[in-house]
Amino acid sequence: MKGIAVAGVAGSLAFLAVALAGRDRWHAAQANIRRYSMPGARSYDLVAGLAFRSRYEAIAEAIAAQVPAGSLLLDVGCGPGEVLNRLATIAPGIDATGLDVDAAMIGRARGKAARSGRAPGHGPRFVVADVAAMPFRDASFDVVVSSYAVHHWPDRQAGFAEVMRVLKPGGRAIVWDVAPPHPAADGAGSTPGHGHDPHAAAAHDGSGEATSPSLLATLRMLLLFRRLPAQRYDFTKPAA
């Protein structure tokens, strides 16, 4: 009941955020709802922080436990930087970079890093870029992670190909989401943490391209999300 109440508050906040956006910002809010299910980066940060805090903590702890210090790690679709800023506190030896297509999200992530009290240069870096065209050289990272962002990618095939490109041979990709990071994620080369989620169909159409959720679908997602089993997909890039 507590989880449902928190999600209900989150849904109300989402409606309020849309109302506050004003008519002149309505089109921008609609575009953001299509991109990441909220009318803006600020409302996303507020709602996600309230509703999904325990999931961010669990993901950061899982990464810290499984990724060795000194590893070069990329968080794709990092949003407002919750996972990486938590990770920097519990596993400061991991060299982390966060990437998101939305500049406002990256601005919030950088703001959190600046307010953390860590010395400059000691903490995650954040860059604005598209997952389908990442500004990194081939084989740049030991580990790529992504948490609940894949179902927003316009082209999951292109995004997944880029993830494999920037991984070093033998490197790992770890994805948490309600939809697989690749249309064939249940096939060779991947290990889903749990079975396919029945609610994932609302996030994609089976073609590898994400659909655009309505505000009603977004609120439904918020109400159900805390009750969904965590899905984790692990990939290993073949060694050279």
Mean pLDDT for the chain?
A: 74
Backbone angles phi, psi at 133, to 5 degrees: -150, 70
CATH classification (class only), 55-211+229-236: alpha beta
Q: What is the pLDDT of residues 61-71, one digit of tens each?
A: 999 999 999 99
176 against 167, higher pLDDT:
167
Tokens encoding 71: 């590893």
- Which pairs with CB-CB distance under 8 Å and at least 24 residues apart come from 91-94? 91/60, 91/63, 91/64, 91/67, 92/118, 92/122, 92/123, 93/69, 94/63, 94/64, 94/67, 94/69, 94/70
Distance CA 53, CA 211 (A): 26
Tokens encoding 79: 């949003």
> Strand pairing partners for 147?
176
Tokens encoding 58: 């669990």
Q: What is the pLDDT of residues 23-34, one digit of tens each?
A: 445 444 444 445
Instruction: Determine the length of the chain.
Output: 240
Q: Do β-strands 95-100 and 167-176 pair in parallel, antiparallel, or remain unpaired?
A: unpaired
Distance CA 72, CA 59 (A): 17
For the chain, which residues make up each domain, given as ranges? 55-211+229-236
What does pTM read for this prediction? 0.69
Does 89 have pLDDT greater than 50? yes
Q: What is the pLDDT of residues 126-166, one digit of tens each?
A: 999 999 999 999 999 999 999 888 877 888 899 999 999 99
